[in-house]
């Protein structure tokens, strides 16, 4: 969590974009959850013998709500993911400037592939957290708050029964989150190994050619790549 606090200056720079994006998330959920209420009234009137004209009106209202919801959903994605892209741009520039200012002993202790992984995959992971992750967290929060409020207004007893699995769901999410974090770290480590192997072969291609090491290096790369795929598949299975 302390590491995430370092992102605060970058997020603060685009504070207005995130506030607008979260407002769009709220409006998206409001119009999304209004549709079931309209559908409920339409079904009630249908059971009461409503005319076809009334049903067409309700259908038009639902289509209108869906259209408005789609517009706000597009807006929230454009604003929040766009802001995360700008933050990624700033982070990448600052990271490169920082790397350029480091002393030679630092580069003697670090693999080039590891630095490349941090400048590519790691920064992309940070962007995913700042943009899509915050957007989905806000979306889930508003969906639960507004949805549960509407459910309570309709039937509070049935709502409480429906919420019984929530504590177990929270425990499952917490467990899966920690497991996914561990697996993602292992994937990043393997990606760093692949990048290091490729960089060393390209920079030392004359040595590889001189000692006829092409097949051996291809074999080693295949092993690294296969391990990378297996770690990704393990995470995908857990995610599924």
Helix (H/G/I), strand (E/B), else coil: 212: coil
| CATH code 3.40.50.720 for 1-164 | no
The reported pLDDT for the residue numbered 94 is: 92
DSSP code at position 119:
I
Helix (H/G/I), strand (E/B), else coil: 82: helix
Residue closest to 129 by CA, chosen among 17, 14, 7, 35: 7
The reported pLDDT for the residue numbered 46 is: 78
Alpha-carbon torsion (6, 77, 17, 31), positive or negative: negative
Extents of the domains making up the chain: 1-164, 165-240
pLDDT digits (tens, 9 = 90+) for 44-97: 877 777 666 777 888 899 999 999 999 999 999 999 999 999 999 999 999 999
Q: How far, in Å, CA of 78 to CA of 17, rounded?
A: 10
pLDDT digits (tens, 9 = 90+) for 6-47: 888 888 999 999 999 999 999 999 999 998 888 888 888 777
């Amino acid at each position: 969590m302390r590491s995430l606090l370092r992102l605060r200056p970058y997020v603060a720079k685009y504070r207005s974009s995130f506030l607008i994006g979260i407002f769009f998330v709220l409006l998206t959920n409001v119009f999304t959850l209004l549709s079931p209420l309209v559908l409920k009234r339409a079904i009630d009137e249908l059971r009461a013998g409503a005319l076809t004209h009334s049903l067409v009106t309700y259908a038009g209202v639902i289509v209108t709500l869906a259209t408005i919801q789609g517009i706000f959903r597009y807006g929230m994605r454009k604003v929040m993911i766009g802001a995360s892209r700008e933050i990624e741009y700033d982070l990448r520039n600052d990271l490169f400037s920082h790397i350029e200012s480091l002393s030679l002993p630092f580069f003697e202790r670090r693999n080039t592939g590891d630095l490349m992984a941090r400048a590519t995959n790691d920064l992309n992971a940070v962007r995913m957290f700042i943009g899509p992750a915050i957007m989905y967290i806000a979306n889930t929060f508003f969906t639960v708050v507004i949805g549960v409020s509407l459910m309570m207004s309709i039937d509070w007893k049935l709502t409480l029964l429906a919420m019984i699995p929530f504590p177990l769901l929270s425990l499952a999410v917490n467990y899966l989150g920690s497991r996914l974090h561990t697996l993602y770290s292992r994937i990043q480590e393997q990606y760093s190994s692949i990048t290091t192997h490729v960089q060393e072969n390209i920079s030392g291609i004359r040595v590889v050619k001189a000692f006829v090491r092409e097949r051996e290096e291809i074999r080693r790369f295949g092993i690294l790549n296969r391990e990378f795929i297996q770690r990704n598949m393990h995470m995908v299975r857990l995610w599924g």
